[in-house]
Amino acid sequence: MSTSTDSTDVSLDTLVSLCKQRGFVFPASEIYGGFGSTYDYGPLGVELKRNVKDLWWRSTVRERSDVVGLDSAIIQSPRVWEASGHVQNFHDPMVDCLECKGRFRADHLEGPDCPTCGASESFTEAREFNLMFRTQVGPVAEEGSEAYLRPETAQGIFINFENVLTSTRRRLPFGIAQQGKSFRNEITLGNFIFRTREFEQMEMEFFVAPDESDEWYQRWIDLREQWYTDLGVNPENIRRDVHPTEKLSHYSAGTTDLQYKYPWGWDELEGIANRTDFDLTQHSESSGKRLEYFDPQTNEHIVPHVIEPAAGVDRIMLALLCDAYTVTPDEKGNDRTVLAFHPKVAPVTVAVLPLSRKEPVANLAHDVWSKVRPFWTTQYDDTQSIGRRYRRQDEIGTPLCVTVDFDSLEDDSVTIRDRDTQEQVRVRIDELVDVLRDRLGF
C-alpha cells in the first residue's frame, strides 16, 4: 500500500494537541502542574515508539550479519566519563540575566537583549555548565559515592569492546548496537519532544580497519538516510549537514548530521560520526586494559577506528508525526485529518469496527478480531457512528479498518476500508488475514 508523501505543513501546537487528545504524548506530572519539558508516552505513543525501535533493531542488528546487540548499565563507574572526556568537555557556556535571573545558552542568544525580559546587555559572564546528571550511589552521600546518569549510550559499548570481541569471536568490520535512555541536564529546552532531559537513543559503533574508515563512514550515511525514506519519510524533508573541519568535536574525523525539516526549520535528527580510535584509546589508557584487535592475516594488533550512527528515538517520532500529518478533503468536502504513517510505523495496524454493539454482529466481530490480533497491533472500536470511527482511525494513522455488518452474518465476509484512498472492498473472513498481509506488506 502507498503512503502519502505530500505532507502538509503542520504547526507544532496542532501536533501537540493531537498527541495529547489521542494518547500519543502527555505532559509529564500533569496533575501536579507539569515538570518542564518532560513527557510521558500514552497508549499510542508507546506503540509508535516500540515500532521505531524494533524497525531500527531489525535493520541494524537482526538483518545484518556483522552487528550484534548490547544493553549496558545506565549508571557506570564515574571513571568511564572521565576517560570519555564528558567530565572535562561535556558542557555548554551559560549566561544569567541579571534582571530576570533567567539562564540561557550563550551560543543560542541572538543579540544583546534578554529573550525573556528584554533587558539590554545585562548578562553575567559565560560559565561552563556540565550537562551530566549527578547522583549518589549507596546509602550515604560521601566522597567517592558520586556517579552520573549516562549522557549517551555509546560509552557502554566501548567499555565492553573486549567482552564482545572475545565472546563472539568477531572479525573486523563489526558493529555493536544499543538502545536506551540517556540523560542530559539541557538548559534550553522546548520544541516538544525534540529536546528533553531524559530521552532515548539508538547508537551503533561500527569497528573497522583504520584504512577503511572513510568508506564505511560514507556507507553508513547512505544506509541511515535510506532507512528514513524506506519508512515513507518524504526525501525532501531530509538533508545532510556535513560539519566543516573546524567545527568537528575533539574525537571526530568527520561528522554528518541527517536533518529533518521540523515545523521550526531544519534540525538534527541523527548524527553519523567517524570517531577514529579516540574512545578505545582513551579507555585503554585510563583502564590499563589493552583494547585492541588482533588481525590474523597480518599478525598485528591494531586499534580499530569506529563509525557511529547515533539517533534519537523521540526526535524520530516527532519527525514521523510531522511527516505523516495530512489534511485532505473527505467525500463531503470537509477537512479530514490523516496521519499517513507507513503501515510498519502506525501504532494501530488494523481496527475492527462492528456496525452493531449487539449480538450476533458483536459476536462475529469478536471472532474476526481474534483472527487478526496475533499478527498486528489492533484496536476494537464499537463506539459512535461508523463515520466518526473512520475519522478517529484516520487521525491516529490506522492503515486499514475492517468493518463487520449485518450482511457479514449471511455472506461470511467483511469490508476492508483503506485510510489513504478511502476505498472499501469486500473480502471473505477466511481469506481476511491473507488479504490484510498482502495489502500491508508484512
Q: Name the one range near ligand ATP by CB under 6 A: 35-43, 192-200, 317-325, 365-373.
A: 192-200
Residue 197 or 417: the one with the smaller Cβ distance to ligand ATP is: 197
47, 162, 205, 270: residue in contact with ligand ATP (rule CB under 6 A) = 270
Fill in the per-residue mask, 291 to 310: x = in contact with ligand ATP (CB under 6 A), - = not in contact.
Answer: -------------------x
SS3 238: strand
Fill in the per-residue mask, 145 to 184: x = in contact with ligand ATP (CB under 6 A), - = not in contact.
Answer: -------x-------------------------------x
Nearest approach, Cβ of residue 428 and ligand ATP (Å):
46
Radius of gyration of the chain (CA): 25
268 contributes a contact to ligand ATP by CB under 6 A: yes
Give the angle 337-340-342 at the CA atoms, nearest 5°: 165
Contact partners, residue 411, CB within 8 Å, separation at least 6: 426
Characterize 336-370 residue by residue with b for buried, 16 or more Cβ atoms within 10 angstroms of its Cβ, and e for exposed: bbbbbbbbbbbbbbbbbbbbeeeeebbebbbebbe
Q: Name the one range near ligand ATP by CB under 6 A: 44-52, 79-87, 239-247, 264-272.
A: 264-272
Residue 134 or 289: the one with the smaller Cβ distance to ligand ATP is: 134
With CB atoms as reference, the residue minimizing the distance to ligand ATP is 312
Nearest approach, Cβ of residue 174 and ligand ATP (Å):
21
Nearest approach, Cβ of residue 132 and ligand ATP (Å):
12
Distance CA 131, CA 183 (A): 8
CB 337 within 8 A of CB 15: no
Fill in the per-residue mask, 345 to 374: x = in contact with ligand ATP (CB under 6 A), - = not in contact.
Answer: ------------------------------
Q: Name the one range near ligand ATP by CB under 6 A: 94-102, 105-113, 160-168, 268-276.
A: 268-276
Q: How many residues does the chain have?
A: 442
376, three cell numbers: 498486528
Residue 433, phi then psi, degrees to nearest 5: -60, -40
Other Cβ atoms less than 10 A from the Cβ of 427: the count is 16
Nearest approach, Cβ of residue 145 and ligand ATP (Å):
27
Q: Which residue has cell 556540565?
A: 130
22, 49, 150, 195: residue in contact with ligand ATP (rule CB under 6 A) = 195
Residues facing residue 418 across a β-bridge: 400
CA distances for 320 relative to 190, 256, 324, 422, angstroms = 18, 21, 6, 22
Residues facing residue 378 across a β-bridge: 350
Q: Name the one range near ligand ATP by CB under 6 A: 39-47, 194-202, 374-382, 395-403.
A: 194-202
Characterize 89-126 residue by residue with b for buried, 16 or more Cβ atoms within 10 angstroms of its Cβ, and e for exposed: ebebebbbbeeeeebbeeeeeeeeebeeeeeeebbeeb
C-alpha 307: how far from its chain's center? Answer: 19
Q: How many CA atoms lie within 13 A of 168 on its CB side?
A: 19
Nearest approach, Cβ of residue 194 and ligand ATP (Å):
6
Nearest approach, Cβ of residue 408 and ligand ATP (Å):
46
Q: Name the one range near ligand ATP by CB under 6 A: 39-47, 82-90, 196-204, 380-388.
A: 196-204
201 contributes a contact to ligand ATP by CB under 6 A: yes
Residue 265, phi then psi, degrees to nearest 5: 130, -175
271, 304, 309, 354: residue in contact with ligand ATP (rule CB under 6 A) = 271
Residue 307 or 353: the one with the smaller Cβ distance to ligand ATP is: 307
Using CB under 6 A as the binding criterion, the count of chain residues that bind ligand ATP stands at: 15
CB 231 within 8 A of CB 344: yes
SS3 157: helix
CB 296 within 8 A of CB 240: no
Nearest approach, Cβ of residue 246 and ligand ATP (Å):
16
60, 153, 196, 377: residue in contact with ligand ATP (rule CB under 6 A) = 196
Residue 78 or 312: the one with the smaller Cβ distance to ligand ATP is: 312
Fill in the per-residue mask, 311 to 330: x = in contact with ligand ATP (CB under 6 A), - = not in contact.
Answer: xx-xx---------------
Nearest approach, Cβ of residue 212 and ligand ATP (Å):
23
Nearest approach, Cβ of residue 60 and ligand ATP (Å):
15
Nearest approach, Cβ of residue 400 and ligand ATP (Å):
31
Helices 43-57 and 313-324: angle between axes, nearest 10 degrees? 110
CB 414 within 8 A of CB 403: yes
123, 199, 216, 217: residue in contact with ligand ATP (rule CB under 6 A) = 199
Distance CA 7, CA 420 (A): 13
Residues in contact with ligand ATP by CB under 6 A are 152, 184, 186, 195-196, 199, 201, 268, 270-271, 310-312, 314-315
